[in-house]
Structure 1
């Protein structure tokens, strides 16, 4: 982890401007073309949810601003951020959090995710480790091909952890699409960074072998 110091006066003004707001977050929702991704997952016998979590986490880890967090009015950058995502449980009809340490190796990550998902099914958790902010908060909403999303969160003290959700796949114009919602703190992540995020997701979904390998 390292401290980020804004040496450019305009970048510092940008940070201060949005960091002083009561509601400093913005959310972009768009559809990602997964036409090539789904048959690739099927032919390689890869689990859909864990593979999507990996791609979502990889895109975030590849963009430094998605690893920035606000602490006491200043910014730190984590070396990596860990996906904490929602999974169903056998205990009740509400979800459990499931946190898996991020690794760039898709095979290792997906294997670890499958084990952790199974464990959460019978031993659910609703707590993240106190004082940690090196998370990505992810959630699946497989019932609806949503066109927008708003997440519950604390605004005071500041919460700068990105929230990323994906929805029900749907077919349109001969392609398969996945709704993807990205909610971020505007003081650390700007529109250009979210744009890069969607571009990365589109690239990985179009060429899954280059990022997931033949596992």
Structure 2
């Protein structure tokens, strides 16, 4: 937490505001990983989800959280993401992390299937203890829309410490690239625009490492 101690004065300034949230939406250019997914029988959503979460965990500022008024750093993630059930209502899928991409995708696909078949809200997700819930990044995909901005809900307006990440409709970019709208909401006491830039760069690097292993 040495790096947090160095910016504690910035944290205290933003944390004293009614809403300390930083919200940025931008076009994110990535290696086109879809052909690789097709060739390897893996769903593009879960490959991208894995890359996004790996990237976020490699940037310290995205690992800081607040619990009972104290800042701490998470060392693991509980992957979760939004799904639509058979009635077109929102639910949340949640599963246990795996460092193995194929196992990660299998667990994520099973969690999606289970959550999409639930009429009621996913009870295990809702039952997470407050500190345990901090081991998340809130993730949503809106594949129908090339959105240009988004406002994520927060449980407490003054405590947006769990980052909220969203992406939308893919489009072709330069040869070998794709572009998608990407949104990051985080506590400005932890995350600045530069760290959002770092996240975008790291996501691209994670995907490149997946599809072009050395």
Is the shorter-chain TM-score for this pair beyond 0.5, marking a shared fold? yes
* SS of equivalent to 1:53: helix
| Kept after mapping to 2: 8 A contact 1:36/1:208 | no
The superposition leaves residues 61-85 of structure 1 with CA deviations (integer Å, 9 ceiling, x where unpaired) of 1222211101233210111122220
Q: How many residues align?
A: 207
Which residue pairs with 1:75 in the alignment?
Answer: 71
- In structure 1, the partner of 2:160 is 159
Partner of residue 106 from structure 2, selected from 90, 103, 111: 111
1:82 is paired with a residue whose SS is coil
**Which residue in 1 is equivalent to 2:189?**
187
The CA RMSD measured in Å over matched residues stands at: 2.3
Q: 1:152: how far off?
A: 1.4
Distance, in Å, in 2 between the alignment partners of 1:170 and 1:66 is: 27
Q: Which residue of structure 1 aligns with residue 210 of structure 2?
A: 208
Corresponding position: 1:86 with 2:87:
no
1:31 and 2:27 correspond: yes
Partners of 2:84 and 2:157 lie apart in 1 by 29
Provide structure 2 residue ranges, at least 5 long, that are not aligned to the other structure.
none
Going from structure 1 to structure 2, the CA distance change for 1:50 and 1:27 (only over 3 Å counts) comes to: same
Distance 2:3 2:28 in 1: 34
Measure the CA separation in 2 of the matches of 1:55 and 1:89.
25
* Residue 121, structure 1, aligned to residue 120, structure 2: no
Say if 1:192 and 1:47 are closer, same or farther in 2 by CA, change over 3 A.
Answer: same
Instruction: Assess, with a 3 A threshold, how the Cα gap between structure 1 residues 176 and 71 changes in structure 2: closer, same or farther.
Output: same
* Structure 1 residues 24 and 71: alpha-carbon distance in aligned structure 2, compared to 1, 3 A threshold: same
Q: Does 1:58 align with 2:54?
A: yes
Q: Residue 32 of structure 1 contacts residue 180 of structure 1 at CA under 8 Å; is this kept in 2?
A: yes
Q: Distance in 1 between matches of 2:3 and 2:60?
A: 14
Q: Indicate how the Cα distance of structure 1 residues 71 and 206 shifts in structure 2: closer, same or farther if over 3 A, else same.
A: same
Task: Tell me the TM-score normalised to structure 2 length.
Answer: 0.86
The whole-number CA distance in structure 2 between the counterparts of 1:4 and 1:160 is: 18
Alignment match, 1:48:
44
